[in-house]
Structure 1
Amino acid sequence: MRQSETGTGFFQDRGLAISFRFVSLPDLDLNRLDQWLGQALEIHVDPEHQASKASEDAQRNRATAYARRCLTLAGKLLQMGNVPVFDCPQMRSLSPVDGRSGEWEAKADFSKVDHVPHACYGLALQFALELCRWAAGAAITHENRNNLYAALEQKFKVPVKRMVPSGKSTIPVLRVAHQLGIPFIHLGSGIYQLGWGSKARRMDRSTTELDSAMGSKLARNKVAAANLLRAAGLPAPVHYVAENFELALSGARSLGWPVVVKPTDRERGEGVAVDIADEAMLKTAFEAARKLSNSGQVIIERQVQGVCHRLFIADGRLLYAVKRLPMCVTGDGRHTVAELVDIEVQLQLAKPPWVRSAIRPVDELAIATIRAAGWDISSVPPAGALVPLRRIESTQWGGVDEEMTGRVHPENVSMALRAAELFGLHVAGIDIITPEIEEPWHQNGAIINEVNFAPLLGGGEISRRHIPVFLRDFLDGDGRIPMEGFQGGESGLQMALNRQQELIERGMRCYFTTSTRTLDAKGKERILPFQNLDQRTAALLLSPEVDAIVVLRDADPAAPETA
C-alpha cells in the first residue's frame, strides 16, 4: 500500500496531551468572560465555542464552552511567550468528576514545539484557568485591567521568556509561515528551520543562515560600521569617539554645532541626543550616553539634515521602505495639542501593553519639541496636521512609520544594496538620513546612519504586510519536499525501491529508508544511530542533501506512523 504527499507535517503533527480540572457552576458569566477576552486581551471567541441553550445536557455544554475559552486563551498566551503555537489546543475528552458538583476533568492536545519545555504549556494552561475564573466574576475597570496586565507579566511572560529564547520578529514571521502552510521546526536557541531537506532555510528572528557572522559583528559596532562604509565609498557619519568630556568637546568644536551624541554600542536609539548646540547641552548628553555605553565610549557625530528612513533589504532586493517619523499626534481642528495627547494616551492605556504605542503624557521634552515645530500645547492644529512630541523616532520613544517603498530613488536603493552586500548580510536594515528619499543621496547630503543586523520584521502593520513576500523569495515554494510511503513485505520493498529510482531519474536526490536502514541516491547506506522510522525520517528532513524521501514501513511493531 502506498501513501504520497508533497512534504510532511511530520514535526507539527506531534501533539502534547495535557489533563486539567476546572469548576463550571451555573452562575458562571460567560458573557463577561468574553468581554474581558475581547476588550482587555483582543481575543475573540469562536462562535462554535458558544454554549447552546438547546443542548440536552446544558451543564456539559456550558462546561465545554468554558473549557474551550480557557484553551483558546492558553494558546494565545503561548504566543505572547514567543512559543509558536498557532492552532488552538483541541479538547480530546471531558467528563464530570465523581462526587464533586460542578467539577470537570478534561484532556486537550497542544501543538508541540521541539525544544520548548513542557513546563511552558502547563504554565500557560494554569494561568489561563486562573484568569478565566477571575474574569468571569470581575468588573471591567481600569484598576482590574492593570491588575490583569501586571499578573500576566509577572506570573507568565517573565518566567516563560526565561525558558524560550526568541526575538520580536520570530512570532510574526512564523505566524505567516503557518498561514502559508510552510512547515517549521525549532532547532533550539530560538533558531527555526522552515521547510524540509534541500528546500529548508533557517532563521533566527529576521536573520538567515546566509548572513555573515563577520558582517553582523561589524554592523553592531557603530564606529567600525561607519569606517567600513566610508572606506567603500558610501556616505557615512563623520564623528569622533570620546572617553571623556574634554575629548567630546574638542570633537564637537571640530565638527561644528549642532552635533549628535550617542553610545558606541547601544541599539534602539537608547542614549541618542540630537540638536546639541552648545557646551552645556553636550555635557548633559555626554554623561547620559556614557552611562549607557558598555565600553564607556561615546560618539560625537556631525548632525545632518533630514529624517531617518529604514530600507529593509532581503536577498539582494528592497523589500520595503518607511520614513521613521517621531512620535506625534494628528490635529483634528477641534482639540488643543495637550488634549490630543491626553486623548491618545487614554486610548493606548485601554489596550494591552504589548500593542500600545510609546506615547506618554506631555513632558518637558515634548514641550520643547512642540515649540520647535512652531506649535504650543494650547494650539489647535488643523485636521491632518502632525505635531511631533519627540525630535526623532526611536524604539525608546516610539514613532510613526510612513510607507515609502515605491518612492525611494533608484540611487538610494542601489546604495542600500551595496551596503548590505559590503557587510555580507542577506537581511539588513539600512537607515538613511535624508531630507528627501526621492532624491539621490549624492545630491542632498544624505548618509547611511546605520547598518542593522537582525532588523525588526513584523513589528508594525507596514512591515507585517511584507512578510509573505519575504517568505516567497526566501523559500522554494512552501518548502516541502516529496515524501512517499509504502507498506508490505518483499512486494512493498520492491515498489519502494522502484519509486526511489524513478525520482532519481527525474534528477532528485531521493533517499530510501526503513526503521533500520537508509540508502542515499547512489544506493550507498547512510549509517544512522536509530532503529526507528520516525527518527530516521526526521534526520533526512534536516539534511540539505535530500530532495525527496521514500519510506517503507516494515513489520517492526514499534515503528510509529510518519506520514
Structure 2
Amino acid sequence: MTDASVKPIAFDLQAWAADVNSGFLFHAARARGIAADQVEFRPRRSVPLQLWLRLRIGRRVYMHRKAVIYCRRGFLRRRWRHVNGKALHVTGNKHIVNEHLRQAGYSVPEGRLFSRSEIGAAREFFLSLGGDACIKPTNGLKGAGVVPHISDMLHFEQAFSSAGNAFENILVEQSVRGSAVRFMFVGGELVATRLDRPASVVGDGTATVAELVALRNEATIAAGLPIWSPIIMDAEADRMLAMAGLTRGSVPGPDMRVFLRATSNIPTGADGIGCPPGLHPGYADRVRRAVEAIPDLVITAVDVMIADPGAPATDSNHWILDVNSAPGIANFHVVREGASQDVAGAIIDWLVAESSS
C-alpha cells in the first residue's frame, strides 16, 4: 500500500458541508501549489448547472463534484470524460459488476436479478438459497434499499416490495456475514483501507438502549462533522434489537455492543475504522486483481465482506459486495477510530502524474 497516512488535511468542514469530498481535494491541491477553484459547470447539456471544483493541472482540467471526476485534455477540447471511462458500463450496475467479477473468477455472493414486478420468481429464488438473503437495488446509493440477513418469507416480501417502490430492478443475493472492509485504489495502487462497523452502541450496565443511542447522537451532532450521521431508531433498528432478544428499554451489560443496523454504510450511522489492525494482506492482493479485471477503472473503492479479516484469504472466506467508481473520500480522512488516511492527496498526486504522461 502506498503511504497515504501523512499529516491529515485540516480545514473547516462546515464551510464545505455541501460537498466535503471536494473540500479535501481543494485543500490537497492548494497544498501542492495546484490551481483550484469552484465554478458553475455541467458535464453535458441534459443536466443543470451546479457548483463544481475545478483543478488545472498542466494542459488538463479536472472537474469534481460529490466524488465524481471528469477530465478534459487540452484547453481547446470541449468533450469531458469521466476519469473511469468505460468502466462505468460495468460498475454502474451492481448485477453487471457481480457477473463480470464472477466470470473473471472472483468471489461474489450468489444472486439473481429481478424486476420489481417479479415477486413470485423472487420468492422461489429466496427459498432456493436455503439461507439468509440480501435485497439490493441495482443502482442504489449509500445503502438505499439494501436489507441483508433476511431469514423469513414475510420479511423478504416486505423488503422486496419496499425496494420496488423506489427502484425498477432488484438483486436478490445470498447474505454473507463478516466484517465489511473498504479498499481504496488510485491508479492501481492501494492507498487506504477502512473497516465499517454497523451502527451500534456499547452498554454501561445502567443506561437503556434508547438512552445510549441518544447519548451517541448528541456526541455525533456536537462533533459538527457533516460526514457523520446519527443513528435512526426505526423498524429496522427494532428488528435488529429483537434478533438479539432486546428492546429499546433493555439495559445492555458493561461493554456489550448492541447493533442497530445490519448494513455498514456511514450515512446510516456506521463507524469507520481507519487502517484496521490485523487485516491480512492477502485480501488487498485479491481485490487489486479484481480491480485490474475491469478496464479503465483507475479511482475506485471496493467493498468486501471478510469472514475473518486476520485469516489468510481463500476463495471461500470473502465476497466482493460492490465496486464504486465514484467513491467518497472524506470518511477516510475523518474516522471514528484508527488512523486518518490522505486519500485526497493520493488522488491529486496521481492526477499530476497522469497529466505529465
- TM-score between both structures, scaled by the size of structure 2: 0.77
Relative to structure 1, the CA distance from residue 394 to residue 253 in structure 2 (aligned partners, 3 Å threshold; closer, same or farther) is same
Distance across 2 between alignment mates of 1:288 and 1:251:
18
**SS of the residue aligned with 1:318?**
strand
Contact 1:321/1:408 (<8 A) preserved: no
Structure 1 residue 442: Cα displacement: 1.8
| Contact 2:301–2:324, Cα closer than 8 Å, also in 1 | yes
Equivalenced residue count is 318
Q: 1:345, 1:351 → 2: CA distance? A: 10
Question: Which deviations, in whole Å up to 9, do the C-alpha atoms of 1:10-56 show, x marking residues without a partner?
Answer: xxxxxxxxxxxxxxxxxxxxxxxxxxxxxxxxx99xxxxxxxxxxxx
8 Å contact 1:330–1:387 — kept in the other structure? yes
Counterpart-to-counterpart distance in 2, 1:257 and 1:237: 12
Counterpart of 2:343 in structure 1 is 467
Distance across 1 between alignment mates of 2:217 and 2:179: 25
One-letter identity of the residue aligned with 1:172 = F
Q: Distance in 1 between matches of 2:209 and 2:300?
A: 37
Displacement of 1:440: 3.4
For the Cα contact (< 8 Å) 1:177–1:471, is it kept in 2? no
Q: Hey, what's the Cα distance between the residues in 2 that align with 1:317 and 1:207?
A: 18
Cα distance, 1:229 vs. partner? 0.1
Give runs of aligned pairs for residues 147-186 of structure 1, distance below 5 A: 168-185=20-37
Structure 1's 436 and 420: CA in aligned 2 closer, same or farther, altered over 3 A? same
- Residue 202 of structure 1: aligned partner: 62
How do residues 65-144 of structure 1 correspond to structure 2 at under 5 angstroms?
Answer: 79-82=16-19
In structure 1, the residue matched to 2:207 is: 335
Alignment of 1:59-458 (within 5 A): 79-82=16-19, 168-185=20-37, 188-189=41-42, 190=52, 192-197=54-59, 202=62, 204=64, 205=67, 207=69, 209=71, 211-243=83-115, 244-293=118-167, 296-349=168-221, 354=226, 357-360=229-232, 362-373=233-244, 375-405=246-276, 407-423=278-294, 424-442=296-314, 444-458=316-330
- The answer on whether the counterparts of 2:84 and 2:325 sit within 8 Å (CA) in structure 1 is no
C-alpha spacing 1:281/1:208, structure 2 compared with 1 (3 Å): same
Structure number with higher relative contact order (C-alpha < 8 Å, ≥ 6 residues apart): 2
1:535 paired residue number: none
CA distance, structure 1, for counterparts of residue 32 and residue 277 of structure 2: 25
3-state SS, counterpart of residue 176 of structure 2:
coil
User: How far apart are residue 396 of structure 1 and its match?
Assistant: 4.8
Structure showing the higher helix proportion among its residues:
1
1:219 and 1:452 in contact (8 A); partners too: yes
Query: Which residue in the other structure is 2:7 paired with?
Result: none
Amino acid at match of 1:466: D
Q: Gaps spanning 5+ residues in structure 2: where?
A: 1-10, 43-51, 72-81
Distance 1:344 1:314 in 2: 34
Partner of 1:169, secondary structure, is: helix
- Corresponding residue number in structure 2 for 1:99: none
Rounded Cα–Cα distance in structure 2 between residues aligned with 1:420 and 1:321: 15
Contact between 1:358 and 1:398, CA under 8 Å: does it hold in 2? yes
Pairwise CA distance, 1:219 = 0.4
Distance 1:235 1:357, change over 3 A: same
Structure with a larger share of its residues in strand:
2
Cα offset, 1:357, TM superposition: 1.9
Q: Secondary structure at the match of 1:390?
A: coil
In the alignment, residue 419 of structure 1 is paired with which amino acid? A
- 1:223–1:472 CA distance, 2 compared to 1 (3 A): closer
Question: Aligned equivalents of 1:355 and 1:471: distance in 2?
Answer: 19
Aligned counterpart, 2:76: none
| Distance in structure 1 (CA, Å) of the matches to 2:349 and 2:318 | 30
Shift of the 374–338 alpha-carbon distance from structure 1 to 2, 3 Å rule, reads same
**Helix, strand or coil at the partner of 2:102:** helix
The structural deviation recorded for 1:469 is 4.6
Q: Runs in 1 of length 4+ with deviation above 6 angstroms? A: none
| Alpha-carbon contact 1:313-1:416 (below 8 Å) kept | no
1:359 partner SS = coil
AA aligned opposite 2:281:
P
Q: How far does residue 255 in structure 1 lie from its aligned partner after superposition?
A: 2.0
| 1:274 Cα deviation after fit | 1.6
Cα shift readout 1:484-539 (whole Å, capped 9, x = no counterpart): xxxxxxxxxxxxxxxxxxxxxxxxxxxxxxxxxxxxxxxxxxxxxxxxxxxxxxxx
443 and 299 in structure 1: CA distance in 2 versus 1, 3 angstrom threshold: closer
Alpha-carbon displacement from aligned partner over 1:268-327 (angstroms, at most 9, x marks no partner): 11111122222222211111111121xx22111111222321111112221111111111
CA contact (8 A) 2:134 2:175 kept: yes
* 1:226, distance to aligned residue in structure 2 (A): 0.7
2: CA distance, partners of 1:191 / 1:348: 28
Report if the CA contact (8 A) 1:420-1:427 is conserved.
no
Q: Deviations over 1:377-415 (max 9, x none)?
A: 444445544221112222552211122456432321112
- For structure 1, list consecutive stretches of 5 or more residues without a partner in the other structure: 1-42, 45-74, 83-167, 480-543, 548-563
Change (3 A) 1:354 1:476: closer
Contact 1:289 1:298 in 2 (8 A): yes
Larger radius of gyration: 1
TM-fit CA distance, 1:441? 3.5
